[in-house]
Structure 1
Amino acid sequence: MQEPIKLVECPRDAMQGIHDFIPTQLKAEYLNLLLQVGFNTLDFGSFVSPKAIPQLKDTAEVLSMLDLSQTSTKLLAIVANLRGVEDTVRYPEISYLGFPFSISETFQQRNTNSSISQSMDTVEQMLTHCDKAGKTAVVYLSMGFGNPYGDEWSTEIVQHWASALVEKGVKILALSDTTGVSTPEKISTLLPALINRFPQAEVGLHLHSTPEKRLEKIKAAFESGCQRFDSALKGYGGCPMAADDLTGNMATEDVLQYLKAQNIETGLNMDKFHEAMQFSSRVFTGA
């Protein structure tokens, strides 16, 4: 029997680049609704410098307002350095620590103010902290489909860094397209290669896309054997560190529409999903 597809909802990614501060209470209300939908994981916040991502400076406060009593959804928080790791492992409510490991040297510096080799050291220390705290590391292979900076990219480079991370003990890899440069061809080449090469790891996709290219990428992902997929309601979001123009997330409703058409059960509470869809317009006013 095939394992159910793990759907990861990413309100953190949706919110982080929005200029106007979203009130803490509003964030918590939205996240509490999403917790009732039944996603596998909720990428809800980040413990990074408030100077870097001011929108998420209230993550700890938001966390204290979440009702986890009626949900099976696990919480994931993003970290960018060892201090963030140490801050995050103190919270028993958080199951996953996500770290953006870029295979583009330029983006690693822009995103985490560190080199690729320094980031590998951070990953090692994060794995140690996670083991001690009973948490799991999720490492994003960001710029996994290319980059806008002219840094060298190839499928061999992707596999090299994936291999290095798995050898260190990373159990979950998310092949990530931060600027929307992935294509169905690249997805159908790269994803099966990583899944087949690293059976001991869970390999997922975190894609960004312009609206008109979402469905072809979703189709390529699931036809390539994707069992873990990141998305955000209405495709809001993007990485403010990556480029001047934010390229939105994959829209969760498009993912669900595709899965429904393939008769793939998600087990989500669709009433709560539609409620969250309506509520999202209050959170992302003007986004």
Structure 2
Amino acid sequence: MKIIECPRDAMQGWESFIPTQSKVDYINQLLKVGFDTIDFGSFVSPKAIPQMRDTAEVLSQLDLSESSTKLLAIVANLRGAEEACLHKEISYLGFPLSLSETFQQKNTNKSITEALAIVQGIQSLCVKHNKVLVVYLSMGFGNPYGDPYEPALVTEFVNRLDAMKIKIISLSDTVGVSAPANIIALFEEVIPAFPHIEFGAHLHSTKESAWEKIEAVYQAGCRRMDGAINGYGGCPMAENDLVGNMATEQITAFCSDRSIQTGLKDDQFLKCLKLASVVFANR
């Protein structure tokens, strides 16, 4: 199982600014664990996400010398993608594409049609700069805004992204409406239909429902999953009661219970759990 750790997702909606050095220390410790990828920051407008205004500064202080973990940065437009592409340390650019017209406007101030054009532009930049674009299909499991939603819409969007030669697509819950039945149905639909695409799961969940969701993801054949230690985070653009990220420690516990290999170093992960309580304390 590839586990993607998302400190950016955990931090971005945090009310008070987390000092740059605290971010650096935390991510440097995460780099010792053995995660496949760390979603570490974003190149977006500081007016929209002020918590991430120091992403370039954080990046300049990360120690990648003894880590095989790859870095992912979120971008919301071509300007951000161009900036991210200047950094050789970044392997992946992530773009949030929504099935919901309402949420696309809230998240990137663009329509879906405009966002798809941006995806094409970012994909061209990624090919040019030897990066890989990861597209997050938000509202992938349901829509709380009353916009049209049905599972066939997910396949329609995947078809559009496949035509652009997008190689990694993460089906994203965003507001915590996923359940085992729709998780299994969606992944069992798209994984066999697009075997050349790597599908991931970016779910939000309460701790009580996390285990059954992780089990559904694995049962459906998905082998890439996002998490955030202690389930911190939630999308600040959703304007709903935030449901936190999938807790990484619950993903690792599930994998341990099923003897699923993750490649993570338990001793270093425990240090991250302790450090997280400091980084996210009283803020």
Which category describes the TM-score, using the shorter chain as reference length?
A: over 0.9
Q: 2:70 maps to which residue?
A: 74
Question: Counterparts of 1:211 and 1:89 in 2: how far apart (Å)?
Answer: 36
Q: 1:65 maps to which residue?
A: 61
Shift of 1:243: 2.2
Q: 1:48 maps to which residue?
A: 44
Q: Which runs of 5+ in 1 are unaligned?
A: none
Shift of 1:244: 3.5
**1:180 aligned to which of 176, 180, 183:** 176
SS in 2 for 1:203: strand
Question: Counterparts of 1:207 and 1:286 in 2: how far apart (Å)?
Answer: 26
CA contact (8 A) 2:175 2:240 kept: no
Scaled by the length of structure 1, the TM-score of the pair is 0.97
- Matched ranges for 1:138-287 at <5 A: 138-286=134-282
Question: Counterparts of 1:267 and 1:57 in 2: how far apart (Å)?
Answer: 32
Shift of 1:285: 1.1
Shift of 1:164: 0.5
Q: 1:124 maps to which residue?
A: 120
CA contact (8 A) 1:179 1:243 kept: no
Question: Counterparts of 1:120 and 1:56 in 2: how far apart (Å)?
Answer: 24
Q: Which runs of 5+ in 2 are unaligned?
A: none
Answer yes or no: is 1:28 the counterpart of 2:24: yes
Shift of 1:34: 0.1
Amino acid at match of 2:154: V
Amino acid at match of 2:36: N
CA RMSD in angstroms comes to 0.8
Amino acid at match of 1:271: D
Shift of 1:275: 0.2
Question: Counterparts of 2:206 and 2:157 in 1: how far apart (Å)?
Answer: 27
Answer yes or no: is 1:90 the counterpart of 2:90: no
Question: Counterparts of 1:269 and 1:139 in 2: how far apart (Å)?
Answer: 28
The total of aligned residue pairs comes to 283
Can you list the C-alpha shifts for 1:199-223, whole angstroms capped at 9, x where unaligned? 1110110000122111110111111
Amino acid at match of 1:92: K
Shift of 1:245: 2.2
